[in-house]
């Protein structure tokens, strides 16, 4: 029995390793989500993501990752994004994220009572320099806390080159 385990364990570890390696997206620099406790996103709960850029010569696409419940009462969401560059200079931009059509049909992908969105906010963007960037996302709606927000995140990926 011990000899069988001796050979079986490395094989199982190899399959698990290959499975994890196969699930990674080589274009993604970061693709992270933060769960919002009790689905109540307060003004003070700013979502932070750190992004390390190694090549400022290529273009990147940046997306908001968002999950809301079917009980979210608005067709949009306003957010503020604070981007701090490696030189410590911070810029703030306000974005409106459209989540539903005028008739109430969700624009995201639904699963049960959750709707997932990946909304672009900077396409073919070139970072000004190599280094570490900090993105801070805060909700900018009138409601505080904003109810029925499940997760908020950021995806940064290398833009595909046109042929």
For 61-130, give the DSSP string.
EEEEEEEEETT---SEEEEEEEEE-TTS-EEEEEEEEE-B-TTS-BSSEEETTEEEEEEEEEEEE--SSS
In-domain check, residue 126: yes
Q: How many domains does the chain have?
A: 1
Q: Range of 33's domain?
A: 28-158
pTM of the predicted model, to two decimals? 0.81
In-domain check, residue 61: yes
What is the predicted pLDDT for the residue at 17? 42
In-domain check, residue 80: yes
pLDDT more than 90, % of the chain: 79
- Strand 90-98 relative to strand 76-84: parallel, antiparallel, unpaired? antiparallel
**Mean pLDDT for the chain overall:** 87
What is the predicted pLDDT for the residue at 20? 41
Residue 111: pLDDT band (50, 70, 90) is confident
Residue 160: pLDDT band (50, 70, 90) is confident
């Amino acid at each position: 029995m011990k000899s069988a385990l001796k050979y079986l364990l490395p094989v199982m570890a190899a399959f698990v390793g290959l499975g994890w390696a196969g699930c990674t997206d080589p274009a993604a620099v970061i693709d992270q989500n933060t769960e919002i406790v009790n689905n109540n996103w307060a003004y003070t709960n700013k979502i932070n993501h750190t992004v390390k850029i190694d090549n400022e010569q290529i273009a990147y696409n940046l997306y908001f990752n968002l999950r809301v419940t079917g009980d979210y009462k608005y067709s949009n969401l306003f957010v503020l994004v604070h981007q701090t560059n490696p030189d410590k200079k911070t810029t703030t931009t306000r974005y409106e994220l459209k989540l539903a059509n005028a008739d109430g049909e969700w624009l995201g992908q639904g699963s049960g009572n959750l709707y997932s969105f990946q909304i672009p906010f900077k396409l073919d963007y070139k970072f000004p320099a190599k280094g570490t960037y900090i993105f801070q996302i805060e909700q900018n709606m009138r409601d505080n806390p904003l109810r029925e927000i499940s997760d908020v995140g950021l995806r940064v990926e290398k833009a595909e080159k046109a042929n």
